[in-house]
Amino acid sequence: MANESGQSFLDKFAEVSAKVGNQVHLRSLRDGFATIMPIYILAGIAVLINNVVFPLFLADGSAELAAAQYWGNAITQGTLSFAAILLCGTIGYCLANNKRFGNAIACLVVSICCLVIMFPQTVTTTVANLTYATSSGEVAAGVETLEAADLAATLNMAEDTTFETSVSGMISTSNTGANGLFAAIIVGLVATTVFIKISSVEKLKINLGEGIPPAVGKSFNVLIPLLLSLSIFGLVAALLNGIFNTNLMTLISECVAAPLKGVMNAGPLAVIVIYTVANLLFCLGIHQSTISGVLAEPILTVLIVENMAMYQAGQVIPADHYMNMQIVNSFALIGGSGCTFMLLLDTFLFSKNKASRDIAKLSILPGLFNINEPVIYGYPIVYNIPLMVPFVILPDIFIAATYGLTCIGWIAPCVVQAPWTTPPVLSALFSTGFDWRAGVWQVIEIAIGMAVWLPFMHISERATAKQMEMQDAA
């Protein structure tokens, strides 16, 4: 009876979790991030080469180094500095597909347009120097440039005084890049939802009839809904500016982004709770991304993208960015979910079970690149009570330990989003900008993981052998 009650609880738990993970907006958010993930990885590679590889053979501050780094700067400008625009469009497109809306590309266009509509029309920027005319005639007659420090001295101000100016007719990369990702998420979901809702009103559709190109027909079919959707967002932007003297980007940064980041960076607890639930679900046959992919990864990805931007700019990574997606990928998913790479090593070294060793032989190469579905379903770990324990607790231990080591300065913060298929040790080096201590820590993690997996592997093999004896006896 107790066993049936426990099984019933697990079934209900899995059912509720699956419903949460399959909620259409959360699923679209996960799909949107997954779509542009290669962009972040390319940006990480460019940042790594610019800040680690080039300085190895080019003098710091030299013209040659600046020329070489132009390559990486150009890539980050087209990826990190444009990430919010890309994410907003892909979220709109994915939401349209998940809702089976017939014109997904229109949703992509609407999402991007609505995001740009919500940008402030005036940008405040710091003035590094001031160029002025030396005569009352044409500027070409003579100009001089005065640096901010010299201008401060002329005005009898402190040397570190900063001067700001407001510029209209431009868009700041602080809104289109990493700082705008939360706005991109919200606008992408809301704008697409509004557009699809308005598009469902048949009276607003314009049907040009037969004999016209399909693209033209679809464009006119959503013309009025598109105009209404953009007008709604334009009205909201005008009201925020006119009544409250603010804009959506500022509101989201202060009221949404900061609290969500704070939850993830108040310590590793929130991340540990989410991945505990996610890995437990994986043990019940439901992929862990159903939970972690929608609740944790978007926020953690925003944090590592911001870290890349700061690292590229030569800034110090603040403590509230130590917890990010790369800590999970590089240090808590060694060999894939549950750190099963260590189980494979234990199997080769200490197991005498032929079936387990055969599975390990088939799984070791994919496991080296963090692909472990063959282990999870073939070993198996699914519904294998002894193996479920290390599968769930090991990532939690490594998340907490790596975060702690980063906080006390024993390893560098993660500043690069390395490909999730990067093998162990290399992933630690890449993600931390080649901090050798991170590589050593990952080797220690592998040893710890093997020690944790070993007794549970033996218990599992004994339980399997006992089951076989009972079946033979029956």
- List per-residue pLDDT tens for the chain, 474 residues long: 445 555 565 566 556 656 666 778 888 888 888 888 888 888 888 888 888 888 888 887 788 888 988 998 899 888 888 889 999 999 999 999 999 998 899 999 999 999 999 998 887 766 666 555 555 555 554 555 556 566 556 666 655 566 566 777 778 887 888 788 888 989 999 999 999 999 988 888 777 666 666 666 677 788 899 999 999 999 999 999 999 888 888 888 788 777 777 777 667 888 898 898 888 878 876 767 767 776 788 888 888 988 998 998 888 999 888 999 999 999 999 998 899 999 999 999 998 888 888 888 888 888 888 888 888 878 888 878 889 899 999 999 999 999 999 999 999 999 998 888 889 999 999 999 999 999 999 999 999 999 999 999 988 888 777 766 766 665
- Burial class of residue 415 in the structure, from the number of CB atoms within 10 Å of its CB (0-12 exposed, 13-18 middle, 19+ buried): buried
Strands (E) across 214-316 are located at none
What the block records as the tokens of 187 is: 């606008």
Non-local (6+) Cβ contacts of 392 within 8 A are 276, 279, 280, 283, 338
- The residues, ordered by sequence, that sit 6+ positions from 64 with a Cβ below 8 Å of its Cβ are 58
* DSSP reduced 3-state for 161: coil
Other CB atoms within 10 A of residue 29 CB: 23
SS3 370: coil
Helices (H) and strands (E) in the chain, counts: 23, 4
The whole-angstrom separation of Cα 253 and Cα 256 is 6
At residue 110, what is the residue type? V
Rounded CA gap, 286 and 11, in Å? 11
Closest by CA position to 388, among listed 375, 400, 398, 399: 375
Which residue type is seen at 254? E
Q: Which residues are CB-contacts of 228 (< 8 A; sequence separation ≥ 6)? A: 198, 204
For residues 403 and 165, give the distance between their C-alpha atoms in angstroms, rounded to a whole number: 40
Who's near 39: CB < 8 A, 6+ residues apart?
Answer: 79, 83, 86
Q: Give helix 269-283 / helix 2-21 axis angle, nearest 10°.
A: 110
DSSP state of 414: P
Strand partners, 144: 132
Q: Give the separation between CA 209 and CA 204, rounded to whole angstroms.
A: 15
- Answer whether the bond into residue 380 is a cis peptide, omega within 30°: yes
SS (HEC) of 185-205: HHHHHHHHHHHHHHHCCHHHC
Q: Which helix (H) or strand (E) holds 168?
A: strand 163-168
Distance between first and last Cα of the chain? 23
Torsion of CA 107, 111, 113, 116, to 10 degrees: -170
CA–CA dist 318, 265 (Å, integer): 11
Q: What is the pTM of this model?
A: 0.74
Q: How far is CA 288 from CA 30, 88, 206, 275, in A?
A: 12, 25, 44, 8
Report the C-alpha gap between 91 and 29 in whole angstroms.
Answer: 6
Distance CA 150, CA 165 (A): 17
- Cα–Cα distance between 308 and 313 in angstroms, integer? 9
Radius of gyration of the chain (CA): 27
CB 392 within 8 A of CB 280: yes
Angle at 453 between CA 452 and CA 456, to 5 degrees: 105
